[in-house]
């Protein structure tokens, strides 16, 4: 019996199982298996494979299995703190996965997405792992498989069909899926994530195949730790969790928001090199207020109104405590698409006790700050010289504004109370001003200026005279022709970021921005837009996609063994991304680098984030590697097939 990095196959000579009658106990972190083999020869023919596999422990007994040895429990990494939970080795290759499957045929191997290679199994592998006759005779390379699958993807006309095809590949051949995504990232990123993932979440109940991730509902209250232990992988490094209340700009999608954690973690692996087995998608199902879903016979979540108050807080707290207990201090918990009030509360409540990160608040802020810093190379002047106006004062808007004020404060050594005076926010009731202070939510209050109330947005633009206009409202076409033309009349090169997702919610399109500004706008969006031709010139719009930041940011936290997230790490990530924009990119009007170099970019971001963690005393993986960029690259997951003996 041998373990093919996760699956156990009978009668493989690699670990020396005799062809004569043997009985062997294999200790793994899953159920205890006793395999018996009876054979008089060693020719590996099917007739020789008579096996009896006895499961000697239940799942519950497995969890109470023999304790680790002293050597196991005191493992340290390079002089760091005790790695009790195996956190530091979660991205390393493992000889066995938690579950052991007994097989007398390679049939099961072909259905194991972690190890299936399809037609790329070599002749030797087909003999060793009983695959003869289960595959056509041809042996092909992984590169040819990628070419074939891309041809299939391109034959689909509907983006959701492409999304479903990609999910099918992921469920059947994990390494091929990630190789496909890495090598075609610019073409496939809009498919596996925004904007297509929004539609996928809306229809998740109808298209759900094999469930991915953990669904933790109010039914599991009091048993969350037990639910976490149901997940087969035990060495988790990154968890992306949502409660589905604010999915992109689409609102409350309840349990069907699972598409977001699944998509984010695919990018953690493809763009940041985090091993798939170290990633865990989670949806917290506390109900939904979406009447359409509650009345949908195919809805997969709890059919009840969304829980609030103490009931909600208790489930989330149990989850946070269970994660720390089960996976340790250094597991990164990324909050995703929570409603504003919960997003800010969770970040404030757990930021001091857990390694937490909110991509909607902090990730968006970091990538937008990087875009603004890069845009200044085209506009001229410093960050402190700019005047910022935001349409949208939710998680994204206030998060970006806060990071900008921190960067200006860092550059000028002025207090944030002073740097804040050049930043203005508009919400659904107009410009945020002091006279509205009593009715404002707490996270908006710092942005209330002594100013006359103004309701109409174009009038706000005329009054404030911003140099940088940022949209995070979630409402499409709010940067009207009047707004863009006003920005162009005030600035030689107006900076306009229309960040709302999906594409239908973008404040303006790339074509509108370039046309209405007569080709002078420096434009970026949240969702991708095709290049625009205006007056015989081609303009390439930038995409302020969080995928530039969070994969490298997470990698930096992991390689340093960071135990907390600090604002200075976000600033370091922004500076690293802005530094990756080359003169060639600027010549094309780009303020973000192309995604074709994203893994290299992620490694540089990771190095800067890790360096800041060491500087702040928040790193536990000691000693600090001398070359953090090279170290980050060496830690990245490779999707290339492994050779099985």
pLDDT digits (tens, 9 = 90+) for 363-410: 999 999 999 999 999 999 999 999 999 999 999 999 999 999 999 999
Determine the pLDDT at residue 645.
77
Determine the pLDDT at residue 92.
58
Determine the pLDDT at residue 38.
37
The larger pLDDT score, comparing residue 611 to residue 51, is at 611
Determine the pLDDT at residue 19.
31
Q: What is the pLDDT of residues 133-154, one digit of tens each?
A: 999 999 999 999 999 999 999 9
What pLDDT band is residue 59 in, cutting at 50, 70 and 90? Answer: very low
Average pLDDT for residues 597-620, to the nearest whole number?
97
What pLDDT band is residue 527 in, cutting at 50, 70 and 90? Answer: confident
Alpha-carbon gap, residue 246 to 339, rounded angstroms: 5
Q: What is the pLDDT of residues 200-234, one digit of tens each?
A: 999 998 888 888 899 999 999 999 999 999 999 99
Average pLDDT for residues 493-511, to the nearest whole number?
93
Determine the pLDDT at residue 2.
38
User: How many CB atoms neighbour CB 172 within 10 A?
Assistant: 16
Model-level pTM?
0.84
Q: What is the pLDDT of residues 331-361, one digit of tens each?
A: 999 999 999 989 999 999 999 999 999 999 9
Buried b or exposed e, range 535-556, using 16+ CB within 10 angstroms: eeeebbbbbbbbbbbbbbbbbb
Determine the pLDDT at residue 89.
58
Determine the pLDDT at residue 503.
85
Q: Residue 190: pLDDT above 80? A: yes
Determine the pLDDT at residue 516.
98
Element containing residue 52 per DSSP (H, E): strand 50-55
Alpha-carbon gap, residue 585 to 370, rounded angstroms: 14
Determine the pLDDT at residue 44.
40
User: Which of 103-107, 195-199, 511-515 has the largest mean confidence?
Assistant: 511-515
What pLDDT band is residue 39 in, cutting at 50, 70 and 90? Answer: very low
Q: Residue 441: pLDDT above 70? A: yes
- β 532-534/537-539 pair status: antiparallel
Determine the pLDDT at residue 544.
95
End-to-end CA distance of the chain: 13
Percent pLDDT > 70 in the chain is: 84
Determine the pLDDT at residue 93.
53
* Of residues 481, 476, 447, the one with CA closest to residue 464: 447
Given a contact cutoff of 8 angstroms between Cβ atoms, the answer to whether 372 and 524 are in contact is no
Determine the pLDDT at residue 15.
32
What pLDDT band is residue 528 in, cutting at 50, 70 and 90? Answer: confident
**Active centre residues (catalytic):** 193, 264
Alpha-carbon gap, residue 72 to 338, rounded angstroms: 38
What pLDDT band is residue 587 in, cutting at 50, 70 and 90? Answer: confident
Determine the pLDDT at residue 616.
98
Determine the pLDDT at residue 70.
43
Average pLDDT for residues 158-173, to the nearest whole number?
96
- Report the range of poorest mean pLDDT among 16-30, 64-78, 346-360, 611-625: 16-30
Q: Can you state the angle between helices 628-635 and 598-615, rounded to 10 degrees?
A: 120
Q: Residue 41: pLDDT above 50? A: no
- Report the range of poorest mean pLDDT among 291-295, 583-587, 611-615: 583-587
Alpha-carbon gap, residue 76 to 205, rounded angstroms: 44
What pLDDT band is residue 194 in, cutting at 50, 70 and 90? Answer: confident
Determine the pLDDT at residue 99.
41
Average pLDDT for residues 402-430, to the nearest whole number?
96
In terms of C-beta density within 10 A (0-12 exposed, 13-18 middle, 19 or more buried), how is residue 643 classed? Answer: exposed
* Of residues 126, 364, 346, 118, the one with CA closest to residue 245: 346
For the chain, the average pLDDT equals 87
How far is residue 128 from each of residues 3, 36, 48, 497, measured CA to CA in Å?
Answer: 13, 19, 14, 56
């Amino acid at each position: 019996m041998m373990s093919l990095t996760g699956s156990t196959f009978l009668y493989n000579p690699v670990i020396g199982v005799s062809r004569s009658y043997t009985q062997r106990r294999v200790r793994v972190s899953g159920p205890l298996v006793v395999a018996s083999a009876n054979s008089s020869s060693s020719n590996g023919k099917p007739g020789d494979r008579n096996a009896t596999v006895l499961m000697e422990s239940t799942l519950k007994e497995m969890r109470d299995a023999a304790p680790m040895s002293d050597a196991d429990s005191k493992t340290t990494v390079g002089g760091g703190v005790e790695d009790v939970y195996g956190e530091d080795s979660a991205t390393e290759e493992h000889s066995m996965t938690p579950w052991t499957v007994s097989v007398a045929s390679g049939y099961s191997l072909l259905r194991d997405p972690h190890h299936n290679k399809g037609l790329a199994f070599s002749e030797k592998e087909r003999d060793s792992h009983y695959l003869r006759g289960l595959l056509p005779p041809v042996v092909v390379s992984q590169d040819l498989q990628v070419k074939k699958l891309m041809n299939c993807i391109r034959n689909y006309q509907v983006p959701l069909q492409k999304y479903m095809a990609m999910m099918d590949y992921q469920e059947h051949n994990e390494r091929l899926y990630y190789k496909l995504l890495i090598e075609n990232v610019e073409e496939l990123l809009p498919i596996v994530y925004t904007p297509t993932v929004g539609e996928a979440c809306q229809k998740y109940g109808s298209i759900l195949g094999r469930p991915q991730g953990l669904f933790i509902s109010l039914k599991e209250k009091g048993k969350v730790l037990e639910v976490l232990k149901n997940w087969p992988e035990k060495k988790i490094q990154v968890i992306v969790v949502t409660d589905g209340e604010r999915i992109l700009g689409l609102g409350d999608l309840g349990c069907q928001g699972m598409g977001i954690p699944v998509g984010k973690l695919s990018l953690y692996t493809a763009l940041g090199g985090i091993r798939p087995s170290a990633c865990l998608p989670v949806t917290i199902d506390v109900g939904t207020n979406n009447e359409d879903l509650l009345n949908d016979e195919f809805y997969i979540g709890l059919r009840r109104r969304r829980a609030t108050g103490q009931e909600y807080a208790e489930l989330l707290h149990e989850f946070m405590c269970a994660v720390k207990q089960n996976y340790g201090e250094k597991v990164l918990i990324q909050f995703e698409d929570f409603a504003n009030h919960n997003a800010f509360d969770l970040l404030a409540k757990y930021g001091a006790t857990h390694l937490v990160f909110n991509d909607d608040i902090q990730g968006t802020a970091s990538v937008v700050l990087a875009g603004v810093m890069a845009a200044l190379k085209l506009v001229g002047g410093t960050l402190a010289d700019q005047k910022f106006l935001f349409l949208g004062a939710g998680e994204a808007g206030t998060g970006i504004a806060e990071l900008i004020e921190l960067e200006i404060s860092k550059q000028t050594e002025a207090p944030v109370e002073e740097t804040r005076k050049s930043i203005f926010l508009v919400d659904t009731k107009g410009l945020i001003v002091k006279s509205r202070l009593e009715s404002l939510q707490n996270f908006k209050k710092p942005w209330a200026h002594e100013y006359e109330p103004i309701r109409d947005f174009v009038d706000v633009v005329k009054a404030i005279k911003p140099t940088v206009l940022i949209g995070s409202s979630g409402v499409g076409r709010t940067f009207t022709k009047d707004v863009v033309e006003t920005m162009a009349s005030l600035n030689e090169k107006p900076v306009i970021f229309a960040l709302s997702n999906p594409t239908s919610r973008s404040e303006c399109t790339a074509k509108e921005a370039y046309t209405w500004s007569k080709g002078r706008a420096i434009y970026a969006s949240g969702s991708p837009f095709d290049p625009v031709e205006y007056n015989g010139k081609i303009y390439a719009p930038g995409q302020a996609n969080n995928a530039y930041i969070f994969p490298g940011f997470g990698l930096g936290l992991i390689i340093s063994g960071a135990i907390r997230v600090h604002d200075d790490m976000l600033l370091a990530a922004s500076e690293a991304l802005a530094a990756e924009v080359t003169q060639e990119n600027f010549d094309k009007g780009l303020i973000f680098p192309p995604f074709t170099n994203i893994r290299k970019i992620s490694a540089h971001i990771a190095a800067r984030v890790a360096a800041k963690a060491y500087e702040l005393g928040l790193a536990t993986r000691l000693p600090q590697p001398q070359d953090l960029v090279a170290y980050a690259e060496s830690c990245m997951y490779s999707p290339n097939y492994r050779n099985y003996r």
